[in-house]
Homo-oligomer: A and B are copies of this chain.
Amino acid sequence: MSDLEPDFHHTVPPGDTLERRVCTRCGFVHYDNPKVVVGSVVRSRGGILLCRRAIFPRRGFWTIPAGYLELNEAPDAGARREAFEEANAEIAISGILAVYSVPRLSQVQVIFQATLAGGFSPGEESLEVKLFDWADIPWDELAFPSVHWALGHDRASELGEAAPPFVNPQGQTGDLFPGGKPLTR
């Protein structure tokens, strides 16, 4: 099977209105849709749980526990699963913090607020897992712009300056960090 490969071309299938990828070998029509990322800002006694990524992209950078929602999974269940996979952490979700989107990557991100319900340690996809006080958050070593947004929005919510649900900060598409810094691999 390893020498088999699909041979896709782009065409509008009968009855459809948009171009889709269709395989010339088997006729498969690949309906590709945006993917849902679920994650959470997890608090414990004032600290915020961050994971240093053991995988690419952005290996070595810090993220909130987050990942792709699986089939037949509710978003809050997916966020709990990701916290467990990446940080061996059981969490209690309190509500939705934000819905962000990264149109270039066709991602919709549903981010929850949560509290830690026990201990934590690095999962397979993390090099290190740590609770950060607000003053110690490694802003220049965050993995993705939306991690930056989520930490800021969680803080604004904590201080009572604004209330969820938050969306992308005005004019931000997730391709650059606030301030304009690009992402490296």
* Residues of A participating in the B interface, judged by any CB pair closer than 8 Å: 1-7, 18, 22-28, 30, 32-36, 68-77, 95-96, 99, 101, 103-104, 106, 108, 110, 163-165, 167-168
Q: Which chain B residues lie closer than 8 Å to A108 at the CB level?
A: 36, 69, 75, 108, 110
A95 to B168 Cα, complex, angstroms: 12
Number of copies: 2
A72 in contact with B104 (CB, 8 Å): yes
Q: Which residue of B lies closest to A29 (CB)?
A: B6
Contacts A33-B33, A101-B75 given; indicate if A70 touches B28 (C-beta within 8 A). no
Min CB gap A34→B, angstroms: 5
Q: Which chain B residues lie closer than 8 Å to A75 at the CB level?
A: 99, 101, 108
Q: Which residue of B lies closest to A77 (CB)?
A: B103
Q: Which chain B residues lie closer than 8 Å to A73 at the CB level?
A: 34, 103, 106
Q: Is the interface of A mostly helix, strand, loop or mixed?
A: loop
Q: Which chain B residues lie closer than 8 Å to A72 at the CB level?
A: 103-104, 106
Contacts A69-B108, A73-B103 given; indicate if A4 touches B25 (C-beta within 8 A). yes
A32 to B72 Cα, complex, angstroms: 11
Most B Cβ at <10 Å: residue of A2, A18, A70, A74? A74
